Amino acid sequence: MSILMLEEITKVYEGKVAHLAINQLSFEVEKGEFLAVMGPSGSGKTTLLNLISTIDRPTSGDIMINGLDPLQLKSNDLSLFRRRQLGFVFQDFNLLPALTVEENMVLPLTLDGQPVSVMKEKVNKIAEQLDLTTILEKRPFEISGGQAQRTAIGRALIHEPSII
């Protein structure tokens, strides 16, 4: 079974002049597979990511993640699904400035009510992999851009999502 399947996805932005952003796009991604999305400005890359991440809804077509259509979920269930199944790494990091590197990384686990022992174990493992162990107590304004990006990557990976 595919981890991600898009079937005949179309997205039209309505307005004075309708804009067809994505037209009948279909593809599948298997577990462990890497997919790069490339194209010129305005070609629909961000729209595609917004559709996959359930931030936006397609005009038509189906999106399945782990065999489930997340857009059929109620609002609270969709939030839980997004938090548990999807890992986000934003271009501008989206780290919370009042939190330390460690606190930013464990945020998804905190929201899920995971035990502190589990959070410590997972953050230490990922911090070591991403060379962040020496800065766990620093705040985002005290670290470099590369360290901030690695912190955001750690936050995206810590809950072992199906899709990043």
Domains of the chain: 4-72 (3.40.50.300), 101-157 (no CATH)
Across 23-32, b (16+ Cβ under 10 Å) vs e yields eebeeebeee
Q: Which of 29, 30, 24 is nearest to 9 (CA)?
A: 24
Q: What is the pLDDT of residue 156?
A: 96
CA angle 46, 49, 51 (to 5 degrees): 110
CA angle 143, 126, 4 (to 5 degrees): 110
Instruction: Count CB neighbours of 7 within 10 A.
Output: 15
Kindly report the length of the chain. 164
Using the predicted structure, report yes or no on whether residue 91 has a pLDDT greater than 90: no
Structure tokens at 3: 């981890």
Q: Do the Cβ atoms of 53 and 59 come closer than 8 Å?
A: no
pLDDT single digits (tens) 13-55: 999 999 999 999 999 999 999 999 999 999 999 999 999 999 9
Q: Provide φ and ψ at 67, rounded to 5°.
A: 75, 5
Q: Which residue has the tokens 């305005």?
A: 42
Q: What is the pLDDT of residue 90?
A: 85
pTM of the model: 0.86
Structure tokens at 146: 């590369």
pLDDT single digits (tens) 114-161: 999 999 999 999 999 999 999 999 999 999 999 999 999 999 999 999
Q: What is the dihedral of CA 144, 108, 78, 44, to 10 degrees?
A: 20
- C-alpha 94: how far from chain center: 12
